[in-house]
Structure 1
């Protein structure tokens, strides 16, 4: 039998590489080298993490599957996102007929929590006889569902938790397909679009604030005197910051035609991408909220417009506001009396 192959050490590998054939397209020795790189991509997509999260508990209350603080901060990420939620809240609050136990202000807070966070909580305030005097809105951002049925906790911060009296807090939740402890808002599929809309606006603001508008490559191949290249480099550096948009004069007596080329790399593309991102993300957000664009004051791009606003209002009320009213009417079953009552609405188109 022959001897077993032995792995070479580093010194032997280096000696063996000397004189080895080199590929004809190997450009490692050239003066110019171009390459691209990016951030490492996770093997597990973040979008699928939500499907695997559970509502873990600390033996007292359950934690929500999504950060309530993150959803609250994303509420004002996009003007179309917050405006659509505020429109639904105002229309629901205007359709409410206040009762001795529930005021319009308390109801508006519940509606906003339900639309933004997917959960709404109301607390019974009872008199000494045990009767319900009024209903108090509990912020869904800090309210947690207890492990024991009928128990809820108020958790505004670390070591500031407080348990509500049992059977005094009622929860309304938007159904979720992965768990039944907490509700999730319906717009989660368009949340990334709302955040992208915000990022595009912030990027454009920083683009104008920092004064770095020189998105180009200055390509020079002509013959220049000593110090000319350094002078051009200093002039380009001074074109940034306050007082930018200056004109640049270059004199090359012995230069050739097209010896200096200015190649823009970002200016025109950034304008087109900005408008495209803003319009596309706006459509995604409006589709998730199912709000007609004319109700949000969006200017139509075509001469025909969006159609009759009164008909759009009637359709929106029937398809969106009326189903939301039925969600809050479920509170009457939990309370045992009629605390939520809506007035009948006449169609605007009639």
Structure 2
């Protein structure tokens, strides 16, 4: 549940999983045994949680003819073998080992559950979220000073001072900066001094934190900046986007495709899935004909 909630903590972290899932769907050729919708849900589960669960549906002869998606967030592995699905009403549905296809990203510390690759970037993600929330609260609480009205007029009457205070206080709207009135009769030039003490809300500090943590997040996802919606900081940009997409798909997406080929070991031969040919995937005409044939 924690990993699922973190998808809403940051713009980049929340956008990258469905983007990778979309690239996976682009390469996917569905079959009667594994539908596009099942791949859509299972692919997102795998990217977010590092694992996906599929229910093996059999015919009267015991052959697996269809894979049905099972939400990974509700699935648990039983100690004595098999699986359990935790239902919203608190009930449990148990499954035998042979009923469930478990596709997982291997973890060197245990082989029971899959694990996502981006866990090393969670601290950067949380810091990015905290910086944004701090800035929002800073503006919303209205407890900070917009300007100081400083007067050193010894002839100002108490009534004039009260009227000025009332006007300044009344100028504050909801969520705006508060202003302060100070009257020091015969005060010197430096009667009031404002000495900043590491103001985190300043534009430069916030921008540094946001940019550094953003880079850590996309690095944890192994996402190319050109594909992550990052605005280039130089006029040259990131280069040829089609080449970047092709290299990224070959190195990041197709290995995931190979992991999902695990379902073909169980599905009946005429129900197995397939993937687009890398040599013709960028040719829209060829890909269209291939999809029709499949």
Q: 1:342 aligns with which of 268, 275, 280?
A: 275
Work out whether 1:271 is the aligned partner of 2:203.
yes
Tell me the equivalent position of 1:84. Answer: 16
Work out whether 1:203 is the aligned partner of 2:131.
no
Instruction: Tell me, in whole angstroms, the C-alpha distance in 2 between the residues paired with 1:114 and 1:241.
Output: 48
Which one has a larger percent strand, Structure 1 or Structure 2?
2
8 Å Cα contact 1:218/1:262 also seen in 2 = no
Give the C-alpha shift of residue 216 in structure 1.
9.2
Tell me the equivalent position of 1:47. Answer: none
RMSD, aligned α-carbons: 3.4
Give the C-alpha shift of residue 213 in structure 1.
3.2
Give the C-alpha shift of residue 246 in structure 1.
6.2
Give the gaps of 5 or more residues in structure 1: 1-68
Instruction: Tell me, in whole angstroms, the C-alpha distance in 2 between the residues paired with 1:251 and 1:221.
Output: 6
Give the gaps of 5 or more residues in structure 2: 284-294
Tell me the equivalent position of 1:146. Answer: 78
8 Å Cα contact 1:120/1:140 also seen in 2 = yes
Residues 43-101 of structure 1, C-alpha deviations (whole Å, 9 max, x = no match):
xxxxxxxxxxxxxxxxxxxxxxxxxx101111222111122211110011121111111
Instruction: Tell me, in whole angstroms, the C-alpha distance in 1 between the residues paired with 2:200 and 2:102.
Output: 51
- Relative contact order, higher structure (CA 8 A, sep 6+): 2
Tell me the equivalent position of 2:116. Answer: 185
Which one has a larger percent helix, Structure 1 or Structure 2?
2
Return 92-101 or 265-274, whichever deviates more.
265-274
Size of the aligned set, in residue pairs, is 280
Q: 1:174 aligns with which of 82, 105, 116?
A: 105
Q: Which structure has the larger Rg over C-alpha atoms?
A: 1
SS state of the match for residue 261, structure 1?
coil
Give the C-alpha shift of residue 197 in structure 1.
1.4
8 Å Cα contact 2:63/2:267 also seen in 1 = no
TM-score by structure 1 length?
0.69
Instruction: Tell me, in whole angstroms, the C-alpha distance in 2 between the residues paired with 1:197 and 1:190.
Output: 11
Cα 1:255–1:103 change in 2 (3 A) is same
